[in-house]
Structure 1
Amino acid sequence: MENLECTVGKDGLNFQCNLCDSDVVHSMAEILLRGLATASVDSTTGDIFKSPSSVAIGMKSELAEYLIQRSMTLVREAVDGGEDHSEQLIKASTMPTEFLSDLIDGFVASKRNLLSHVSGFLSSETRLNKIKDFIQKLEMENFWAPDVREATAGTILKSIDMKCIIHCPERFDTQDKLAEHRNLCRFRIVNCKNDGCLASFSANHIEKHDSVCPFKVLPCEQLCEQHVMRCEMDRHCASVCPMKLINCPFYQVGCESAFPQCVLDKHCSERLQIHLMYILELTTRHDAFVNDMNQRLHLLEKAQSLNELSGALDNRTLTLTAKEQEAKIKKLEQDLKVQETKLKKLESEFKSGKV
């Protein structure tokens, strides 16, 4: 994207800027890699003689050529007054990544083999995992280098951006004028000026990046006198900021005031007597509570003693009752033996004829 391009123009302006929005080009380059992986996987699904890697080289060239030719044909037909592609052209200029995805979807669909068309396979987890794994393989092997993909994406972008929203169409009659322009072009690559930030982007995104840059130094959100990096703001406000709201140290005893951390000493000094009253009231309530608990404890101990005494009395009564019953049982046993003896005596006398 940074090469100076020389083209022959009827107006003598032979040097064209052609710088593009770097963020859009980068996004389109990522879509190209995913499109290549998807087409390679879908065209070899279930084929024991081919793998995605074996077709990737030819697929890459075919994909790039298809996309460039398809985008140029679309523009040429629109300019020549042929088919109505107004909706597509609007999408191409305003949403180039979505437009590119649509083109790639058409290319991938034409490459799917029979098994890839099986119902449910296109949305299956297995297929998506294969595509993801192959993308990682392509990246690790630097199969389609990022700068080459971005060059391809840039070529497509320049052909479809008829309204010049995402690339610079400026032309100049000398190389020096072109170089001077590129130092000011809104699509030139710039680095973030915030200390610690390594981000680079097109100049037209300076304000957008500055609004979210984590290294941007900002005034404290709680209006203390300090300036803090955006990425440290939450921690600052929640911990060390002198304007952080805190509760009074005597909150638990009755003072429910909340105030900035920096006025803690002033608050405690101004409300010294009130805080002492809170403590006195708490002490009084505590003493009354202790006395009440002592009384309750005494009652519990007394009740426990009575229960133990009652239990002892009950045990004694049961013992006496048991002994009385045992005595009665023994007497009955003795009476029974006497009766048995008498019965045996009578039986003996009856047998001897005395009766």
Structure 2
Amino acid sequence: MDNLECTDGEDGLNFHCNLCDSEVVHSMTKILLCGLATASVDSTTGDIFKSPSAVAVAMKSELAEYLIQRSMMLVREAVDGGEDHSEQLIKASTMPTEFLSDLIDDFVASKRNLLSHVSGFLSSESRLNKIKDFIQKMEKENFWALDERDTTGGTILKCIDMKCIFHCPERFDTQDKLAEHRSLCRFRIVNCRNDGCLASFSDNRTEKHDSVCPFKVLPCEQLCQQHVMRCEMDMHCASVCPMKLINCPFYQVGCETAFPQCVLDKHCSELLQTHLLYILQLITRQDASVNDMNQRLQLLEKAQSLNELAGALDVRTLTLTTKEQEAKIKKLERDLKVQEAKLKKLENEFKSGKV
């Protein structure tokens, strides 16, 4: 994509810039890779003599040619005033990756073999796994380079980008002028200027990248005097930042003030009497609480003594009652013995004839 392009033109402007937005080209190339894997898998389903790898090279050329021709045909018909493709042109000019996905879906559908349709293979989990595995294999082999060296994505983008949103349309009459322009073109590849960041992108993406770059050094969000990398900001603010909000050390005794930790000494010095008053009030409350607890303890001890005394009285009463009953039983036993003696005496007198 960085090679100088020269074509014969009637106006003498034969040197084209044609640099493209590298992020869009990268996204389009990933879509191309996925489409190629899908078409290769679907076209060889159930074929014991062919594998996706065996048809991938030829399929890549066919896919690239199909996409370029369809794109050029769409633009040509729009220019010639043929069929109404306004919706497609709008999508192509503003959402080129989605437009490319639509074209690839059409291509893939044309490559599905009969067995794929009959067996229901298209909706199976096995198909998706095979496609995923084949994509990973092609990525390892760098089969379809995901960078600006591959021209398929760039060629399609330049063809459908009629509003020149994603590529540069500038042309020049000499190679030197083209080279000078490319050194300043908004689509030239630049490196991130933030130390530690290895990202590269088209110059038109610089502001967007800078707004999220984790290595960007920024003023502290809590307005301390330090500058911190974006990726370390949260840790800085939560730990070492002198402007980190903390509670007063006397928070538990009544001072509910929160302030930056850098003014802790000043706060404690200025509110020394207030903090002492809080402590005195706490001690007073604790003393009152201790006295209240002592009184409660004494009441509990008295209650326990009364319970024990009541228990003792109950035992004594029961003992006396028991003794009275035992005495009555003994008296009855004695009376019974007396009656038994009298009865025995009468029996003896009867036997002796005295009665």
Q: TM-score, normalised by structure 1?
A: 0.84
Looking at structure 2, the residues matched to 114 and 329 of structure 1 have their Cα atoms a distance apart, in angstroms, of 114
Secondary structure of 1:26 counterpart: helix
Does the 8 Å CA contact 2:26/2:148 hold for their aligned counterparts? no
Q: What's 1:287 paired with? A: 287
Distance in 2 (CA, whole Å) between partners of 1:64 and 1:328 is: 125
Report the Cα offset of residue 24 of structure 1: 0.3
Question: Structure 1 residue 189: deviation in Å?
Answer: 0.3
Does residue 95 in structure 1 map to residue 95 in structure 2?
Answer: yes
Residue 134 of structure 2 is aligned to residue 105 of structure 1: no
Judge which range, 305-314 or 40-49, deviates more.
Answer: 305-314
SS, match of residue 2 in structure 2: coil
What are the within-5 Å matches in structure 2 for residues 317-328 of structure 1? none
Would you say 1:273 and 2:288 are equivalent positions? no
Secondary structure of the equivalent of 2:151? helix
1:187 alignment partner in structure 2: 187
Superposed CA deviations along residues 258-294 of structure 1, whole A, max 9, x for unmatched, are 2222222221111111110000000111111122223
Equivalence for 1:9: 9
* Structure 1 residue 132: Cα displacement: 2.0
Task: Provide the aligned length of Structure 1 versus Structure 2.
Answer: 336
What SS does structure 1 have at the residue aligned with 2:252?
A: helix
Q: Deviations over 1:110-160 (max 9, x none)?
A: 122345446976455443333222211221232323348842101111111
Answer with 97-106 or 234-243: which moved more.
Answer: 234-243
What's the counterpart of residue 44 of structure 1?
A: 44
Deviations, residues 3-29 of structure 1 (Å, cap 9, x unaligned) = 111111111222111110000000001
SS in 2 for 1:218: strand
Q: CA deviation at 1:325?
A: 8.9
- Answer yes or no: is 1:56 the counterpart of 2:74: no
How big is each residue's C-alpha offset from its partner over 1:180-220, in whole Å with a ceiling of 9 and x where there is no partner? Answer: 11101110000111111111110111111111111111122
Give TM-score, length-normalised by structure 2: 0.84
Q: Which moved more, 1:240-249 or 1:2-11?
A: 240-249
1:39 deviates by 1.6
Query: In the aligned structure 1, how far is the partner of 2:312 from the partner of 2:18?
Result: 108
> What is the match of residue 129 of structure 1?
129
Find the counterpart in structure 2 of residue 248 from structure 1.
248
Paired residue type of 1:56: A
* Structure 2 SS opposite 1:287: helix
Contact 2:144-2:150 within 8 A present in 1 as well: no
Show the 5 A alignment for 1:1-355: 1-117=1-117, 122-147=122-147, 150-307=150-307
Q: What CA distance in whole angstroms lies between the structure 2 residues aligned with 1:120 and 1:305?
A: 89
Residues 26 and 150, structure 1, Cα contact 8 Å, conserved in 2: no
TM-fit CA distance, 1:305: 4.8
Distance 1:301 1:169, change over 3 A: same
Cα–Cα, structure 1 residues 10 and 288, in superposed 2: closer, same or farther, change >3 Å?
same
Alignment check: 8 A CA contact 1:192 1:199 kept: yes
Say which SS state the counterpart of residue 146 (structure 1) adopts: coil
Letter in 2 for 1:256: E
Structure 1 unaligned residues grouped into runs of 5+: 343-355
Q: 1:291 to 1:49 in 2, by over 3 A?
A: farther
Kindly provide the amino acid, as one letter, of the partner of residue 300 in structure 1: L
Q: Distance in 2 between matches of 1:119 and 1:284?
A: 86
What CA distance in whole angstroms lies between the structure 2 residues aligned with 1:190 and 1:314? 101
- Higher mean alpha-carbon deviation, 157-166 vs 308-317, is at 308-317
What is the alpha-carbon distance in structure 2 between the residues aligned to residue 112 and residue 319 of structure 1?
106
**Change over 3 Å in CA distance of 1:229–1:31 after alignment to 2:** same
Distance 1:301-1:86 versus aligned 2 partners, 3 A rule: same
Q: By how many angstroms is 1:322 displaced?
A: 8.3
Amino acid at match of 1:35: G
Tell me which amino acid in the other structure corresponds to 1:43: S
| 8 A Cα contact 1:25 1:150, kept in partner | no
- Distance (whole Å) between structure 2 residues aligned to residue 14 and residue 58 of structure 1: 33
CA distance in 2, matches of 1:321, 1:45: 105
Two-structure CA RMSD over aligned residues (Å): 3.1
3-state DSSP of counterpart to 2:110: helix
Secondary structure, counterpart of 2:129 in structure 1: helix
Change (3 A) 1:119 1:86: farther
Deviation of 1:297 after TM superposition, in Å, equals 3.0
Aligned to 2:351: none
CA distance in 2: counterparts of 1:109 and 1:248, whole angstroms: 69
1:347 is aligned to: none
Alpha-carbon distance, 1:234 to partner:
1.7
Q: Structure 1's 10 and 281: CA in aligned 2 closer, same or farther, altered over 3 A?
A: same
Is the Cα contact below 8 Å between 1:17 and 1:171 reproduced in 2? yes
